[in-house]
Structure 1
């Protein structure tokens, strides 16, 4: 049976990402994914959704040794969305960077205002719909039990459905007002604000956390290494520099930087605006994630 055009497009994007070579062998500047709307591909009826959207890969299956499958960046047109579908061997999170969208998880729908995300745990169904009259800036992260992507579409565009005033699913707000001073910034300088937006318990795969980080003008975070944890640094705003191992590269809004298992990383803000980042942590495997959770629990103050 022939696949729908949108499914074929998504499969083609994943195939391109999986065969693009090992990024770890490339210079840091070439490993960084850059948001470039001129290179987005148009798709309609994505997972049975309404209308159309444009999207493209920032990072693919070869970006990290852990089971990150992809980071996509795109734009959802007005009155358009992604139909409700399952992932049985991977977990996914849609993030809206501005505006608002109707998020659905397991058939329950709520309107969320950006910057916001809703993780979809393995075995659950999800979708998204832009009911507004302007395009939405969209980000998608997918992590699996392996490097293989799977989906099962329900053919439900989630248009005109009942809206719950209070979401009946997990959500993540990337609100600067929720950030607090970072207790330690690994020998860096200046004001650094931080918040863990999603912790390891949220995810069933080796996906371990989502952090929100803000470096004030002139601030930096010193070098640190996690042998069993990989990370992706997505730049939400501002400009700066990131050092991975012995290499340093400039970054700006829309960039996604992979930091692999055992690689050291350091950050520095530059320019007039604060450097704002979303950080995705993916452990080497479930055993490494369990060790990480135990280590984090040991650091919490006892009540």
Structure 2
């Protein structure tokens, strides 16, 4: 039986206090989780901090993580070292690394979070030797990579992560252009960052605009169509091991 495409948005986030043991208020919502997906996702989430807000430093002992900054400016700390982030910045952090995020601007900071379990073993979190088109534009710090996806182009997450997360990119469709996504051996998650358009999911049309997310389980597909002003979206792919195919 064909699975359903997961459609979510950020219109009704939950209020969170003391995120990762830091004081203050933040907002959060889950866009997709492992239930209903075949890949080894933990979750796809949206998070928000007010000016001066902090997501406390913490170490990931079970999962690897990607942050993608949507709005605002901030400072991410990776194993004690601060790095500036802005819209379009992706931060890939391997298992065992410690990180935290602070809003350093006078407006809210929001970002996407993708968490995936890392396979156990002594090589977890070790970058491999594969190259991709973006790495010469990215900063590597220990077992982490910081890249501006709008400037650098696609990044292969396998250059630093050992789990199933693969290509992450920002895609811009020109007015009335189309893109087809098919979850044949991978699963997709898409988050609209700018513009407007529609997604065709079977016989249903889904309106697309900033804050709308689509996650495609194995065996599904969609056609994205940009509106008159074009459409921009963050796009991540996750490998699905053959033994996990239905």
TM-score (norm 2): 0.80
Q: Give secondary structure in 2 for the equivalent of 1:238.
A: strand
Whose radius of gyration is greater, 1 or 2?
A: 1
Residue 132 of structure 1: how far off its partner (Å): 2.5
Summarize the Cα distance change of 1:56–1:225 in structure 2 as closer, same or farther, 3 Å threshold.
closer
Tell me the alpha carbon deviations over residues 5-28 of structure 1, each in whole angstroms, 9 at most, x when there is no partner: xxxxxxxxxxxxxxxxxxx755x4
Q: Aligned match of 2:71 in 60, 79, 98?
A: 98
Partner of 1:112: 85
Higher relative CO (CA 8 A, sep ≥ 6), structure 1 or 2?
A: 2
Partner of 1:229: 186
Residue 71 of structure 1: how far off its partner (Å): 1.6
Partner of 2:131: none
Contact 2:47/2:112, CA 8 A, preserved across alignment = yes
Partner of 2:224: 267
Return the alpha-carbon distance in structure 2 between the equivalents of residues 64 and 210 of structure 1: 18
Summarize the Cα distance change of 1:277–1:87 in structure 2 as closer, same or farther, 3 Å threshold.
same
Higher helix content, 1 or 2:
1
User: Tell me, which stretches of 5 or more residues in structure 2 are unaligned?
Assistant: 120-138
Tell me how large the CA RMSD over aligned residues is: 2.5
Return the alpha-carbon distance in structure 1 between the equivalents of residues 117 and 242 of structure 2: 11
Return the alpha-carbon distance in structure 2 between the equivalents of residues 245 and 281 of structure 1: 21
Q: Give secondary structure in 1 for the equivalent of 2:162.
A: coil
Q: Give the number of aligned pairs.
A: 222
Partner of 2:155: 197
Residue 246 of structure 1: how far off its partner (Å): 5.7
Return the alpha-carbon distance in structure 2 between the equivalents of residues 247 and 283 of structure 1: 27
Higher strand content, 1 or 2:
2
Contact 1:74/1:138, CA 8 A, preserved across alignment = yes
Residue 135 of structure 1: how far off its partner (Å): 1.6
User: Tell me, which stretches of 5 or more residues in structure 1 are unaligned?
Assistant: 1-23, 147-165, 180-194, 289-303
Summarize the Cα distance change of 1:140–1:264 in structure 2 as closer, same or farther, 3 Å threshold.
same
Partner of 1:3: none
